[in-house]
C-alpha cells in the first residue's frame, strides 16, 4: 500500500476540505481534475434521484486518489494504489455500509462490467484500460457471479457507470459544499 498523506478524516467538513484542497490534480490522463470527476459523478447521481447514500458514494468514490502522493502517472509504473481501499480505510468508521461498500466495490464493478458486457470494455479510456490491467482484468465467470450476488453489487455497478461518465471537460456542476448536508446526515 502507498503512504497516506491524510492520516485521518474526522468530520464531514474535513472531507470537503480534502476534496477542495487536493482535488485540483489531473485525473490520471482524463480531461478533468479529480475534484471535477468526483463532483460530476455526484451530480449525475443527484440528477437520477439516487439515495443520499449513493450520492455521497459517488462524491467520495475516488477520494483514495487524494490520500497518497504517488503521482498521476502511478499506473504507468505498474502500481495499483488500491484507492478504493484507501478510501474505505479512512472513511469506513464514519459512514454506513450503504456508502462504503459501493466505494469499496467500484473497481470490482468495472472488472465485472468488462466481463459481462463487451461493449463496456470497448468504450473504456486508455487510462481506464491501464488501471483495469493492474486491477486484475475482466472477471472470470465464477468471480462475476459471486460479485453480482453480493450485497451492494448493484449500487457499485450504478456508481461505476457514473464514474465512467464523469470525465466531461468544462461541465458546470455544483461544488463540494452542495453535498455537505448529505455527508453530515450520514456521518457516524
Instruction: Break the chain into its structural domains and give their ranges.
Output: 12-183
Counting every residue written for the chain, the total comes to: 188
The pLDDT of residue 68: 64
Q: Which CATH class is domain 12-183?
A: mainly alpha
The pLDDT of residue 9: 81
pTM of the model: 0.90
The pLDDT of residue 69: 61
The pLDDT of residue 125: 85
**Do 138 and 115 touch, CB atoms closer than 8 A?**
yes
The pLDDT of residue 71: 55
130, HSE (Cβ side, Cα atoms, 13 Å): 16
The pLDDT of residue 34: 92
The pLDDT of residue 40: 98
The pLDDT of residue 72: 57
The pLDDT of residue 134: 86
The full DSSP string for 45-93 is: HHHTT--HHHHHHHHHTTGGGGGB-S-TTGGGGT----HHHHHHHHHTT
The pLDDT of residue 78: 53
CA angle 43, 66, 130 (to 5 degrees): 85
Identify the segments of the chain with pLDDT beneath 50: 74-75, 77, 80
Burial of 4 (0-12, 13-18, 19+ CB in 10 A): middle
Amino acid at each position: 500500500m502507498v503512504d497516506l498523506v491524510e492520516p485521518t478524516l474526522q468530520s464531514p467538513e474535513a472531507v470537503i476540505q480534502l476534496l477542495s484542497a487536493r482535488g485540483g490534480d489531473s485525473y490520471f490522463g482524463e480531461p478533468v481534475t479529480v475534484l471535477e470527476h468526483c463532483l460530476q459523478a455526484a451530480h449525475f447521481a443527484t440528477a437520477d434521484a439516487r439515495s443520499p447514500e449513493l450520492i455521497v458514494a459517488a462524491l467520495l468514490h475516488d477520494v483514495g486518489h487524494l490520500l497518497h502522493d504517488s503521482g498521476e502517472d502511478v499506473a504507468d509504473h505498474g502500481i495499483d494504489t488500491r484507492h478504493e481501499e484507501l478510501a474505505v480505510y479512512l472513511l469506513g468508521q464514519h459512514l454506513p455500509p450503504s456508502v462504503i461498500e459501493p466505494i469499496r466495490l467500484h473497481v470490482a464493478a468495472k472488472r465485472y462490467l468488462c466481463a459481462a458486457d463487451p461493449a463496456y470494455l470497448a468504450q473504456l479510456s486508455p487510462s481506464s484500460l491501464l488501471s483495469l490491467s493492474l486491477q486484475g482484468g475482466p472477471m472470470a465467470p465464477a468471480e462475476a457471479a459471486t460479485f453480482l450476488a453480493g450485497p451492494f453489487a448493484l449500487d457499485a455497478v450504478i456508481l461505476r457507470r457514473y464514474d465512467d461518465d464523469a470525465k466531461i471537460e468544462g461541465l458546470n456542476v455544483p461544488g463540494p459544499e452542495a453535498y455537505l448536508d448529505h455527508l453530515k446526515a450520514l456521518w457516524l
